[in-house]
Structures are given as C-alpha cells and as structure tokens.
C-alpha cells in the first residue's frame, strides 16, 4: 500500500515536439505563424493523438508534450503526423514551412495532477533537441518495443550524451519517407561510422553592448549586429535567429547558455563597443553555447570616418569566422578572402552547397550559382575553379552528351583559375583529378599531394588526395586521408564516404566497406555513386539479394548505367583492383553495356 504523500510514478511513452525555427517564423510573420500552428494542431496533431490514445500533458508556445499508453502508439502517431505535415508543407513556400522535431522516450515518470515530470520526460525533450527539422528520434527503450512492429527504417545513431542526464542515451532515427531507398536495406544495416551526420548550426547574434546613455555607441553596436545578421542570413548551411528575437536581450545582463537554451542556438555572437572622439574599439566573439567555450574572438581599433564601412567590416569578419569554424571549414576563410563582393561570396557558397549533394540536377544548379558569382567578380578565382568541377562531373559521371568536350571545359577552367591565383589548392586538386581520369597517374599523385601540402587543414583536398590514392593502389593511405577529411570538416561531402568504402573494399574489409556506403546513402539518398559503391561491396562480400537491391537503386537513379560506363568513372592503375569492383557490380545485376 502506498503511503500518504508518496510520489506517484508510472511507466509511460512520452513524445516531445517543438517547431524548428519558431523564432525565425514568428519574426517574419507572427500572426500568420500562430494561425498556421493552430491549423496544424486542429487538422493533424490533435486528431492523430486522439486516434492513438494519447494525451497532451503540456504545451509551451511552439512545443508540446504527449503521453501515450505504449511506445508503439507514440511512434505510429509521430510517423503519421510527420508524413501528413510533410505533404501539407509541399503546398507552402519554403521559408514559411512549419516543421516539427520529435523525440520519444519510454521511461519512468512522476505524476502530479495532470502533469508529468522526471527523467522519462526530460530524456524525451533532450532527444527531441537532437532531431533535425521533420525528424523523429527515439531512445533505445522505445526502439526495443517498436523495431518489429512498425514498418519503417531505423538508423542507429549510437549513444549520445545529453544535457542534465548522467548516462548516455542510445538514440535511433526513424525514417518517415515511404519512398526512401534505404528502407529496403534497413534491416541489414551494419554498424556505421562513428561520426554523426552534419547538422545545420543555429546562430544567435546579440546586440553589441555600449554605454547605455551613449546614443552613438548604441547606434554603432546595433548596426554591427544587424549587419552581421543580414550577411549570415544569406548564408547556406547556417540558420540565423531573427533580429526580433535576439534584440529582446538588448541592455539586459544575460548568460550565453540562457540565450542559447531560450532561442535554440548552437552558437552565440556577442560583442561590445567603446568610442572616444573619432576612435572606436569593438570586440566581437563567438561562443559555443553548450560548453561556453570561445571559438573565436577579435578586437577592432578603428576610426569613425565611415561607420557603415566599419559595420560591414566587422560583420564580414564574424561571418568568415563562423563559416570557417562551424560550417564550410578552413576553405571558407580562403574563399571569402578572395572577394570583397558579398553577393559573389554568397553565390559561391550556395554553389558549394548544391555541389555537395552530388546529383545531376544539383550539379547544374551549382554551375548556375558559380557562373553568377564569376560574373559579379571576374577576378574571383573560386567560382571559376568550381565551374571546372561541374564540367568534370558531367564528363566522369556520364551526365554529358560529349564527355571529351566537358573534360576540355574543365581543364580550361582549371587553367584559368590558376592564372587568376596560383595559390589556391583547389585548382591543383582539380588538375590532379583531371590527370587521374586521363590515366596520367604520376602527375595526378603529384598534383594531389601539392594541393594537400599547400593547406594541410583543407578537408576537401585531403579527401581528394585519398580519392587519388584509392585508385592508384594505396588503400591504407586513402583510408587514413578519408577519415582525416571527415574530422576536419563538419560538412564533408558524401563522396568522402565513397572513398572510405572503396579503400575498405580494396583492403578486403567487407563489413566496413558496406557500412561506409550505407552511411553515404543515409546522408544523401539521391547520389547514385554511393549506391554503386554499395552494390560493388555487397556483390563482393554480401548476399546476392542485398547486392541486387542496391543494383536496382543504381539503375533507378541512372537508367543508362552499365558496368562498362563505370570503367570511365573508376580509373584504376591496377587491373585487378578494377576487376574486383566490376565483378561486384555484375553480381548486383548491373548490365554489361
């Protein structure tokens, strides 16, 4: 018998959800966002919760907490909601879409009236914070209950350390896309690489603080903050919290962790302004919210002859530091330093993001961005080099009607970029890959090594040298370079995983090769090259059924793909290495050509 006043507990499945980017949506259109949220609650969320026997136990603006009688009911409800919301979002402009992040946990909760508390609830909230927009993340306790009961694919993300929870939580991602090509292979998914998938970082730029009674300092500080927000808002790969949200902290003493928690920011930009006569001293810093660590800080001593130019200079410096430290990596610093035209830099980075997706349509889009950038700044080397890469892909991946002409265009772009700036490692890397595909192996190695030596922290050039090594019979070195490339860049391209898989294939590491290809597919399901790697690895080391499933996905994305067409895309130095890969493709059902 329970004692009077004893804490009441029970085991419950808890679903925690919130709106991704809620502050940005409210800043853009407060009334419209509230109406949209109410419509989603009325038409999607509440009916689905009721259908699955759930009970909403708490709401907080953009978020809500739901209790379910079982883990199966909770996950089934979440999958249905996310699929329905995704369909509704297709009819909404991209910048106005409302997407939810969902976390689900099965655990012990404390009952107080109609409310629930305790670690069972907290873990659900922490898992939800890990999820991407439109995603569903579940704890290991939930996975154990639903893995054989709900027909979706589950991606094992391993153990995650979350805030205020002592022990790491084993987390799985639920894939809700019914057409996802990895679903057919999900039950055979092996352990994948330990590196987590890259996520888009969120940035909060606080008002730069000056003396409260000094209007000049206040105006300069506000201008710097607003300019930084405006520049970052154009940047792909960065989510910037709106001015309306960050400026609510103006003039108030706040802790970075508090701001980050309230706004959902991974990084906070803050600074101060001091003026004396015609001189100004501005400090700016970037703080990682979770650890409180300063990842960048700078002091600017300038005259006030042109305050607008000063604001732009500091905003540009902060933007460069964020891109370098947080998203694109060290190459962003080099790329942005090569032009003083913000729009040209923006188009270049947008082209980079499109190019990373490694599909035919995105290759066309990348070329369009880079062409615009080159037109805005004809002396800007980076977009010219990028154009060369798009022509190379057209030729090597069979996307061009005239491969020889595309190779010629790629070489012309590489030579032009070298003429503009011979200090750019990327141009040497492009020339190295072109040499590789022309079977000039010694020259390819020399150029690839020069590119990597010019900047040992350039993730793309390190991965590219691994690509070259993997094809000239140096798989151990290729493996080490691919892993190094992923460590250097939080937004590495999935082709680096393809290099990793190929190196493992050459070394006879069947499970590791298959796992690397599956990881690449999970991160970029549209890239048929990763399916080629999976088909070859499964053909060499896996089962015939698994190989053929991967082969079908290759042909679904590239119907004209053949074994012989891959010979052009895989310029091996050793015939035996090429034969191993081609034999795997044949076992996967790829036509000979």
For residue 67, what is the enclosing H or E element? strand 63-68
What is the predicted pLDDT for the residue at 5?
52
What is the predicted pLDDT for the residue at 491?
58
State whether residue 108 is helix, strand or coil: strand
Band of pLDDT at residue 585, cut at 50, 70 and 90: very high
What is the predicted pLDDT for the residue at 189?
30
pLDDT, average across residues 162-184 = 65
Between 501 and 344, residue with greater pLDDT: 501
| Residue ranges per structural domain of the chain | 8-178, 202-326, 492-593
**The CATH number fitting domain 492-593, selected from 3.90.980.10, 3.30.460.80, 3.30.930.10, 1.25.40.10:** 1.25.40.10
Concatenated DSSP letters of 122-170: HHHHHHHHHSPTT-EEEEHHHHHHHTTTS-SEEEEEEEE--TT-SS-EE
Query: Is the pLDDT assigned to residue 326 strictly greater than 80?
Result: no
* CATH fold for the domain made of 8-178: Alpha-Beta Plaits (3.30.70)
The CA distances from residue 86 to 65, 104, 289, in Å, are: 20, 19, 30
Number of Cβ within 10 Å of residue 218's Cβ equals 19
CATH of domain 202-326: 3.40.50.10610
Concatenated DSSP letters of 166-212: SS-EEEEEEE--TT-TTGGGGGG-----SSPPP-PPEEEEPPPB--T
Residues 271 and 260: their CA atoms lie apart, in Å, by: 16
Greatest mean pLDDT among 226-230, 266-270, 368-372 lies in: 368-372
Q: Which residue has the tokens 């708490």?
A: 58
Provide, rounded to the nearest whole percent, the portion of the chain with pLDDT above 70: 88
Residues 525 and 528: their CA atoms lie apart, in Å, by: 8
Helix axes 495-507, 528-541, angle to 10 degrees: 20
Residues 12 and 73: their CA atoms lie apart, in Å, by: 11
Sign, CA dihedral 235-236-238-240, equals positive
Residues 346 and 377: their CA atoms lie apart, in Å, by: 12
What is the predicted pLDDT for the residue at 177?
57
Residues 56 and 298: their CA atoms lie apart, in Å, by: 47
Residues 36 and 97: their CA atoms lie apart, in Å, by: 9
pLDDT, average across residues 332-339 = 59
Residue-wise pLDDT for 405-458, tens only, equals: 999 999 999 999 999 988 888 889 999 999 999 999 999 999 999 999 887 777
pTM for this model (two decimals):
0.52
Edge-to-edge strand list for the sheet holding 239-240: 239-240, 202-205, 267-276, 279-288, 294-303
Band of pLDDT at residue 2, cut at 50, 70 and 90: very low
Q: Which residue has the tokens 């060499």?
A: 540
Residue-wise pLDDT for 62-103, tens only, equals: 788 899 888 999 999 999 899 888 888 887 877 788 889 899
Residues 8 and 1: their CA atoms lie apart, in Å, by: 12
């Amino acid at each position: 018998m329970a004692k009077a006043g004893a804490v009441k507990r029970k085991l419950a499945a808890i679903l925690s959800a919130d709106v991704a980017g809620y502050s940005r949506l409210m800043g853009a259109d407060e009334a419209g966002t509230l109406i949209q949220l109410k419509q989603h609650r009325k038409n999607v969320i509440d009916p689905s919760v009721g259908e699955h026997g759930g009970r909403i136990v708490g709401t907080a603006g953009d978020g809500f907490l739901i209790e379910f009688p079982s883990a199966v009911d909770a996950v089934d409800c979440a999958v249905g909601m996310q699929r329905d919301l995704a369909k509704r979002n297709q009819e909404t402009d991209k910048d106005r879409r409302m997407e939810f992040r969902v976390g689900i946990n099965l655990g012990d909760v404390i009952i107080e009236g109609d409310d629930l508390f305790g670690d069972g609830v907290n873990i659900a909230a922490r898992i939800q914070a890990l999820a991407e927009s439109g995603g569903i993340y579940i704890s290991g306790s939930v996975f154990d209950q639903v893995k054989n009961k709900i027909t979706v694919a589950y991606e094992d993300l391993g153990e995650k350390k979350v805030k205020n929870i002592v022990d790491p939580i084993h987390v799985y991602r639920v894939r809700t896309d019914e057409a996802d090509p990895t679903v057919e292979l999900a039950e055979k998914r092996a352990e994948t690489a330990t590196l987590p998938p890259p996520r888009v970082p969120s940035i909060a730029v606080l008002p730069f603080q000056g003396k409260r009674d000094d209007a000049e300092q206040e105006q300069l500080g506000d201008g710097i903050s607003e300019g930084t927000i405006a520049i970052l808002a154009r940047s792909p790969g960065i989510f910037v919290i709106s001015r309306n949200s960050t400026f609510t902290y103006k003039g108030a003493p706040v802790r970075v962790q508090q701001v980050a928690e309230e706004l959902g920011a991974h990084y906070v930009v803050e600074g101060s302004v001091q003026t004396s006569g015609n001189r100004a001293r501005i400090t700016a810093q970037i703080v990682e919210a979770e650890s409180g660590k300063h990842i960048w800080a700078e002091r600017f001593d300038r005259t006030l002859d042109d305050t607008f130019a000063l604001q732009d200079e500091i905003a540009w410096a902060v933007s460069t530091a964020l891109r370098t430290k947080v998203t694109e990596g060290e190459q962003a610093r080099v790329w942005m330093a090569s032009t003083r035209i913000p729009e040209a830099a923006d188009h270049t980075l947008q082209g980079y993001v499109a190019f990373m997706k490694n599909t035919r349509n995105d290759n066309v889009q990348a070329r369009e961005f880079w062409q615009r950038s080159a037109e805005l700044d004809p002396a800007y080397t980076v977009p010219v080099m990028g154009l060369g890469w798009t022509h190379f892909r057209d030729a090597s991946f069979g996307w061009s009607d005239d491969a020889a002409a595309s190779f010629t265009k790629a070489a012309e772009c590489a030579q032009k970029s070298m003429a503009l700036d011979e200090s750019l490692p990327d141009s040497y890397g492009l020339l190295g890959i072109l040499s590789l595909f022309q079977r000039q192996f010694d020259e390819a190695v020399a150029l690839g090594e020069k590119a990597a030596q010019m900047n040992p922290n350039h993730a793309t050039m390190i991965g590219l040298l691994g690509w070259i090594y993997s094809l000239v019979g140096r798989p151990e070195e290729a493996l080490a370079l691919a892993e190094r490339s992923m460590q250097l860049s939080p937004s590495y391209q999935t082709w680096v995983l393809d290099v990793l898989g190929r190196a493992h294939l050459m070394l006879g590491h069947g499970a590791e090769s298959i796992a690397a290809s599956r990881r690449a597919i999970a991160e970029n399901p549209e890239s048929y090259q990763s399916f080629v790697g999976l088909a070859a690895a499964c053909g060499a080391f896996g089962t015939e059924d698994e190989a053929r499933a991967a082969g079908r996905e290759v042909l679904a994305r590239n119907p004209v793909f053949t074994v012989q067409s891959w010979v052009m895309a895989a310029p091996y130095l050793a015939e035996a290495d090429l034969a191993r890969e081609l034999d795997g493709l044949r076992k996967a059902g790829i036509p000979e050509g």
